Chains A and B, each alone.
Chain A
Amino acid sequence: MFAEYSMGELGAIFAMQGFAGLILFSVFVLMALGLAIIFGQMGVINMAHGEFMILGAYVTYLTSNLFATYIPSLFSIYFFLAMILAFFVTAALGMLVEWSMIRHLYKRPLDTLLATWGLSLILQQVYRSVFGAREVGVTIPEWMMGSLPLTDMIEIPINGIFVMVLAVGISTAVYIMMFRSSWGKQVRAVTQNRVMAGAVGINTERTDRLTFGIGCGVAGVAGSAFTMIGSTGPTAGQLYIVDTFLVVVFGGAASLLGTIASAFSISQAQSIMEFFLSGSMAKVLTLLTVVGILMLRPQGLFALKLRK
């Protein structure tokens, strides 16, 4: 299959596919980070995670329309405001959901899965009624369009670079929050031993709500970033939810580094195979490999050493 390409072309193909894989990787990381907080730390399965992401995307869409209509002069920076708005709107919805639904179900993880699936159906229908069934796209600001030519065969789209930078930034922020702040310590303490954490004076209910809210907020930012490279429809979230869960499980649920490593390997494998096989076969092979490895190593790539 390699015979018809010259060495230089082959290098360029790998570089371009590798870069496409990096963009996919950034999207996976952004989506998986929120889930890694909610699922990895709290052990709650949030099947509506994709819908929270889409909410962030719709918030971005609304903000961009708002800027375009009322303050077109500031249009080039609308995205930063949109991202912050997306974070707070989805975080608020997340906390509401935690308060009304999730907190009653901490002891029944399988039931959380069903309840949040129900929530995702409701949210999808709400989006469909409010924004219409068609996909919407945002206008990307001028400076994000176009691409950087590296060599005469390799070009890199600027919006892709932007999403990558965002992924790195948010991963760092989440890392600092989880492992370097007192809030992160509280979260981990509550997950490891709820009763003891309560006994030493941590407000476990508040910690749970904040954790869930921030996890959802990160999903919102992911959705916001997603608008830079694709359009948004009411059911777009559902397309990614299984992939995202696999990324988190594959990496080892409680490990942030594992999540990033697994997002990297899955996205690279998929995008490189996509060039040589059809898209669907590439996906099948990638998912099969992941499921196969998980069967051999159910604790994921990077697992904390736990005594079970």
Chain B
Amino acid sequence: MLLKGNRFFSTGDLVAFAILAVLIFVILPVGLDTFRLNLFGKYLTYAFVAIGLVLCWGAGGILSLGQGVFFGLGGYCMAMFLKLEASSPEATKIQSTPGIPDFMDWNQITQIPLWWEPFHSLTFSLFAVILIPVAFAFIIGVAMFRRRVGGVYFAIITQAIAAILTILIIGQQGYTGGVNGITDLRTLKGWDIRTDDAKVLLYFVNGGLLFVCLFIAQLIRKSKLGRILIAMRDQEDRVRFSGYDVANFKIFVFCAGAAFAAVGGAMFTLQVGFMSPSFVGIVPSIEMVIFCAVGGRLSIIGAVYGALLVNLAKTTFSELFPELWLLGLGAVFIAVVLAFPNGLAGLYKDHVEPRLLVIFKRKAGDDSSTEDFDAIKTAAE
């Protein structure tokens, strides 16, 4: 059989990856115009965050309500580079100080601050997109997990950090663009990111990166590391007594989640063309958790569908029935927690997969080859 399972990917996983790949790389680009495709690209950037949350929350039991911080840091690093490129002295000669970003000029700043300088370099910026959020996550992780802060305390403190960063960005508008964020981004090394061609290309780059993240997440989950994470989620003390340093595993998975979110943020900036504090704060951070919860907190593929569906619903309903949208979103939160704790992936696993198995079983019986059936059965387990 073509899709044969191995240690890291069971047959079921491979099928799920293949279906998602077909959806992202074939069905959506063929079926949608550039505007809609760009919109879906934007939704997919949230899927990065959701995958990170599946690792942290679903596997590791660490609920971070501050993923918007990492999404935002990644996005801002990208936006700072693009903004510096868009503010060349020729393009900004109507300003009182040409050559600096427009919002700095509006705030009577006459010189680019020192910490903006390195973002003239694309290489530095690309490294910064990953490294700054990861370093930040590392500091938070070391400070919290080494002192055995977990569960709800961790959630509240990460939420507070999201609040702090938002207030800081809005308050320091001369350096960060304030509440409007960094807008009017034009080119990446001379390549105009606002054209339709660029948008299609960026969509595919985004999809490719998403799959890279999915593969990394799958490897983490299926490796020994992933098993320790799950053990830690269910019985932290026993893992500790078995001689593992629980804090290190938590720090690692939190940093991995931050890195995924940061990549999503950078791709968001590139595709949408701006970055603002409204993607950093408490509300967006909690919405990111709901993408993950709707898709299924245990399933990385489910998280991608969750991000797509919730965002699609948000765009559709908030345009058609702005009054009902919040009610609907609130109801989804409650329903997902009370009735479907494992989200869409859980529903699939409980109701759809057993029926599929029955069908496959019948076929397998016709071919009198029991090997495939065994593979599917192990996949189901």
Q: Which of A122-177 contact B (CB under 8 A)?
A: 122, 124-126, 128-129
The reply to whether B337 and A121 contact each other, CB–CB distance below 8 Å, is: no
Q: A45-B152, A110-B152 are in contact. Are A125 and B330 (CB under 8 A)?
A: yes
The reply to whether B171 and A122 contact each other, CB–CB distance below 8 Å, is: no
Which among A112, A287, A290 has the highest number of chain B CB atoms within 10 Å?
Answer: A287
Question: B148-161 vs A: 1/0 string, CB under 8 Å?
Answer: 11011101110111
The reply to whether B289 and A121 contact each other, CB–CB distance below 8 Å, is: no
Partner among B157, B171, B293 whose Cβ is within 8 Å of the Cβ of A294: B157
Question: A263-281 vs B: 1/0 string, CB under 8 Å?
Answer: 0000000000000001011
The reply to whether A298 and B144 contact each other, CB–CB distance below 8 Å, is: yes
- A287 to B281 Cα, complex, angstroms: 14
Count chain B residues whose beta carbon lies closer than 8 angstroms to a beta carbon of A: 42
Would you call B164 an interface residue if the criterion is a C-beta within 8 Å of the partner chain's C-beta atoms? yes
Residues of B within 8 A of A92 (CB): none
16 residue pairs A–B, Cβ–Cβ below 8 Å: A101-B334, A101-B338, A104-B338, A105-B337, A113-B152, A114-B336, A114-B337, A121-B327, A121-B330, A124-B326, A125-B326, A238-B282, A242-B156, A283-B167, A291-B157, A298-B144
Residues of A within 8 A of B155 (CB): 45, 110, 113
Which among B160, B168, B290, B332 has the highest number of chain A CB atoms within 10 Å?
Answer: B160
Residues of B within 8 A of A96 (CB): none
Residues of B within 8 A of A178 (CB): none
The reply to whether B160 and A287 contact each other, CB–CB distance below 8 Å, is: yes
Would you call A187 an interface residue if the criterion is a C-beta within 8 Å of the partner chain's C-beta atoms? no
A contacts with B: majority SS: helix
Would you call B30 an interface residue if the criterion is a C-beta within 8 Å of the partner chain's C-beta atoms? no
Would you call B224 an interface residue if the criterion is a C-beta within 8 Å of the partner chain's C-beta atoms? no
The reply to whether A281 and B171 contact each other, CB–CB distance below 8 Å, is: yes
Q: A114-B337, A115-B338 are in contact. Are A122 and B326 (CB under 8 A)?
A: yes
Nearest chain A CB to B249 CB, angstrom units: 18
Residues of A within 8 A of B327 (CB): 121-122, 125-126
- A43 to B327 Cα, complex, angstroms: 26
Partner among A104, A110, A245 whose Cβ is within 8 Å of the Cβ of B63: A110
- A294 to B158 Cα, complex, angstroms: 12
Partner among A114, A120, A284 whose Cβ is within 8 Å of the Cβ of B164: A284
Would you call A230 an interface residue if the criterion is a C-beta within 8 Å of the partner chain's C-beta atoms? no
Would you call A295 an interface residue if the criterion is a C-beta within 8 Å of the partner chain's C-beta atoms? yes
Would you call A118 an interface residue if the criterion is a C-beta within 8 Å of the partner chain's C-beta atoms? yes
The reply to whether A121 and B149 contact each other, CB–CB distance below 8 Å, is: no
Residues of A within 8 A of B286 (CB): 114, 117
Would you call B230 an interface residue if the criterion is a C-beta within 8 Å of the partner chain's C-beta atoms? no
Residues of B within 8 A of A278 (CB): 171
The reply to whether B331 and A122 contact each other, CB–CB distance below 8 Å, is: yes
Would you call A119 an interface residue if the criterion is a C-beta within 8 Å of the partner chain's C-beta atoms? yes
The reply to whether B334 and A298 contact each other, CB–CB distance below 8 Å, is: no
The reply to whether B337 and A118 contact each other, CB–CB distance below 8 Å, is: yes
Would you call A81 an interface residue if the criterion is a C-beta within 8 Å of the partner chain's C-beta atoms? no
Nearest chain B CB to A221 CB, angstrom units: 24
The reply to whether B326 and A298 contact each other, CB–CB distance below 8 Å, is: no
Count chain A residues whose beta carbon lies closer than 8 angstroms to a beta carbon of B: 43
Interface residues of B (CB under 8 A from A): 57, 63, 65, 143-144, 147-149, 151-153, 155-157, 159-161, 163-164, 167-168, 170-171, 282-283, 286, 289-290, 293, 323, 326-327, 329-334, 336-338, 341
- A259 to B52 Cα, complex, angstroms: 34
User: Which residue in chain A gives the minimum CB-CB distance to B164?
Assistant: A287
Residues of A within 8 A of B161 (CB): 291
Q: Which of A54-113 contact B (CB under 8 A)?
A: 101, 104-105, 108-113
Which among B143, B283, B330, B338 has the highest number of chain A CB atoms within 10 Å?
Answer: B330
Question: A236-265 vs B: 1/0 string, CB under 8 Å?
Answer: 001000100110010000000000000000
Would you call A304 an interface residue if the criterion is a C-beta within 8 Å of the partner chain's C-beta atoms? no
The reply to whether B153 and A115 contact each other, CB–CB distance below 8 Å, is: no
Residues of B within 8 A of A195 (CB): none
- A97 to B155 Cα, complex, angstroms: 22
Q: A114-B333, A124-B326 are in contact. Are A295 and B143 (CB under 8 A)?
A: yes
Q: A114-B293, A249-B157 are in contact. List 19 more A-B contacts (CB 8 A).
A: A105-B337, A108-B337, A108-B341, A113-B152, A114-B289, A114-B333, A115-B337, A115-B338, A117-B286, A119-B333, A125-B330, A246-B160, A278-B171, A284-B167, A284-B171, A291-B157, A294-B157, A295-B157, A308-B148
Q: A45-B152, A129-B323 are in contact. Are A119 and B160 (CB under 8 A)?
A: no
Residues of B within 8 A of A10 (CB): none
Residues of B within 8 A of A122 (CB): 326-327, 330-331, 334
User: Which residue in chain A gives the minimum CB-CB distance to B140?
Assistant: A295
The reply to whether A119 and B330 contact each other, CB–CB distance below 8 Å, is: yes
- A50 to B306 Cα, complex, angstroms: 28
Closest 9 CB pairs of A and B: A118-B333, A280-B171, A121-B330, A122-B330, A125-B326, A295-B143, A118-B330, A115-B337, A298-B149
Would you call A288 an interface residue if the criterion is a C-beta within 8 Å of the partner chain's C-beta atoms? yes
The reply to whether B156 and A245 contact each other, CB–CB distance below 8 Å, is: yes
Residues of B within 8 A of A108 (CB): 337, 341
The reply to whether B170 and A280 contact each other, CB–CB distance below 8 Å, is: yes
- A85 to B156 Cα, complex, angstroms: 31
The reply to whether A284 and B337 contact each other, CB–CB distance below 8 Å, is: no
User: Which residue in chain B gives the minimum CB-CB distance to A294?
Assistant: B157
- A198 to B242 Cα, complex, angstroms: 34
The reply to whether B334 and A249 contact each other, CB–CB distance below 8 Å, is: no
The reply to whether B149 and A118 contact each other, CB–CB distance below 8 Å, is: no
Partner among B159, B336, B338 whose Cβ is within 8 Å of the Cβ of A242: B159
- A176 to B282 Cα, complex, angstroms: 35
